[in-house]
Chains A and B, each alone.
Chain A
Amino acid sequence: MSKENRRKERIDRGIKVRSDGLYALLSWREMAYLIAPRFILIAGLLALPLLMPGLYWQRVISIVCIYAMVAISFDFLAHYVGLVCLGGAFFIGVGGYIAGIFNAYFGMPPLVTIPLAAIAGGGFCTLLLLPCLPLRGVYFAIVTLMYPLFMARIIEAFDLFGGTDGILGIDSFSSAFVEQYFVVGILLVFLFGLRRLVNTDMGLIFTAIMDNDQAVRASGINITHYKALAVFIASAMGCLAGACLTHIYMWSGISQFALDFSILPIAATVIGGAGTLAGPVIGCLILVPISELLRDFGTLRIVFYASILVAFILFRSDGIMAFAKRKYEQIERWTQV
């Protein structure tokens, strides 16, 4: 076969076809084929805290999970609702500050402040983003990119909540073990919860809003209502992540609104695979440890992950997850044209 007149053919594996739908119950092998990827992800995430040597790397796992929550919320908003929100740091910061305020000023324990931060923070973020919901594309992206910067400047200018020093003396989790399993557990709940959500009727409306909002409107559905709902879901997740971050570092401050929290989750989503929900988690599992390993090189790590990001956008824009899925479900071979 000469190089010019051949092409790559992709065919579904037999077992993939057999395990579609009810036929999956035919044999253990088909069921194992379906369960294996999910099982590996769940078991892997649950085992990670045990496998890590030393407290430092266990802490890295918690940070991975926090970034992953923000990344999932970005992925959900961008690829299932069509709202590209570049302001992950906004959610992290709002959640972090709310948890910090309720813990340091009112003495509530972390188990109360974290859900409270998720609900109240979600409400707060949704309320602030409500006027921007009619915007589309670049405009929504830019306005959300500005929100975290704006909040940071407001806190600085009015010297709110400790000003540039931030809120100190916040309780940590009762132990490192509780901390890690709490964030890993929440992450898994969010991941599978969202996967379920996007397949419900509500998820269908979200996707329809992304594809053609005028058609959704013509069907008599209030799109602002649904967009606000989606933003609430995503921002509640981000705020919960921010609250966890506050309790892990026992501090909340302006740097939680830093661009890091907006960019790294997006990079993770691009690398892991946009629109797959599991992809961002994988992206975070790769990116965050790399960035920790390169900590000695100072700001060079930012250069490094920015270059990875650009390379993935250019050459592998569908991400690792789509690639892995293809390999798992299909066989490839060269055929004569």
Chain B
Amino acid sequence: MEILVYGTINSVSLALMGLGFAMVYGISRVPNFAHGALYIICGFVTWTLLQKLGLPYGLAIVLSLAANGILGILMYRLVLIRVRGMSISEIISSYAIGLAILEGLRYGGFRGMTYTLPVFMDGMVVIGGVPVDYHRIVMVIIGILLVAGLWLFTHFTKLGLALQGMAQDERAALMLGIDSDFMAMLAMGFGAILAGVAAITILPLGNIVVESGYHVLIMSIAVCIVGGLGSWMGAFFAAFIIGYAQILSVVFLGSHFQMVVALLAIILTLILKPSGLFGQQKELEDRV
């Protein structure tokens, strides 16, 4: 029962981390290696607004999400748009931006264990003999709502359909009058906001530390690769596979193995089936 409950919670938090990465890659084909940095910076912006400026929690969250979205859009507008299509330059430049943000935060004095966000709701409830605090339940609900919302957004709104069209075939979308650069920019903004949502829902469970930026990046890559790059639903299901695998490994092997499981999942998936479990890429394009 413990495995089931904590496996679900872990899986949902992984899904939250991975959704932003999957969205950006799915639409604009830019592997956004600054994802972890966007996650952490949102946490710190919220903390600053909340503790330094004394804004109410809700307002701080909205403002920092907006700031994150703008940051993502600027990143695309100023840098990534120029290297789009050259996958290696995309990886290197987005990774360099992420590195600059993370290490800049570290230099700016954001280190140590002193930065925490308050939880949404105090208290806990016992589910099937396992005590779970309300915040984790809220997190699971937010995660599920987010996935459902994204599904509705991409299937029933004009903008969402345009984004989906671009994800399927960029040239055809261009011919139908969809501005691909604008859409990719939007996707980047949404991705950054999703990273921010993940940060705000997950970070109250622990401290905000710069190192977890790298951790989040690796986890979101793991989720996206196993699920198939560019497939959001794949990422969601893969989060459950990796999430349960991690909890099982922690229970039966030890906490060191949590990361080993994720990395092993990436490597094995890429070797055995590079398009992932739910990937839409053609096999031939990925492998010789």
Which residue numbers of A lie inside 8 Å of B, CB to CB? 78, 84, 86, 131-132, 134-139, 141-143, 146-147, 149-150, 153-154, 156-157, 213-214, 217, 223, 259, 263, 266-267, 270, 297-300, 302-303, 306-307, 309-310, 313-314, 317
Contact = CB atoms under 8 A, between A and B. Distances in A.
Contacts of A139: 270, 274, 286
B92 interface: yes
Interface string B258-288: 0110011011001100100000000001111
B92 to A, nearest CB: 6
B261 to A, nearest CB: 9
Contact of B96 (A137, A157, A213, A306): A306
Tell me the interface secondary structure of chain B in the complex.
Answer: helix
Main secondary structure of the interface of A (DSSP, over half): helix
Interface of B: 31, 79, 82-83, 87-89, 91-93, 95-97, 99-100, 103-104, 106-107, 214, 218, 221, 225, 229, 254, 256-257, 259-260, 263-264, 266-267, 270-271, 274, 285-288
Given A150-B267, A309-B96, 8 more contacts: A138-B88, A142-B225, A142-B270, A143-B266, A143-B267, A263-B99, A313-B89, A313-B92
A311 to B, nearest CB: 10
A258 to B, nearest CB: 10
B218 to A, nearest CB: 7
A297 B286 CA distance: 42
A146 B287 contact: no
Contacts of B256: 153, 156-157
A138 B221 CA distance: 12
B87 A141 contact: yes
A141 B93 contact: no
Contact of B103 (A213, A217, A299): A299
Nearest to A131: B271
A150 B97 CA distance: 23
A84 B259 CA distance: 24
A146 B268 CA distance: 11
Q: Which one of B82, B95, B221 has the highest number of Cβ atoms from chain A below 10 Å of its Cβ?
A: B95
A135 B286 CA distance: 6
A310 B96 contact: yes
Nearest to A223: B288
Contacts of A298: 106-107
A313 B87 contact: no
8 contacts: A139-B286, A150-B263, A157-B257, A297-B107, A299-B106, A300-B104, A313-B96, A314-B83
B270 A135 contact: yes
Contacts of A263: 95-96, 99
Contacts of A131: 271
B199 to A, nearest CB: 21
A48 to B, nearest CB: 28
- For the complex of A and B, the 10 pairs showing the least CB-CB separation, nearest first, are A157-B256, A306-B100, A302-B103, A150-B263, A306-B96, A299-B103, A131-B271, A134-B287, A143-B270, A309-B96
B270 A153 contact: no
A310 B96 CA distance: 7
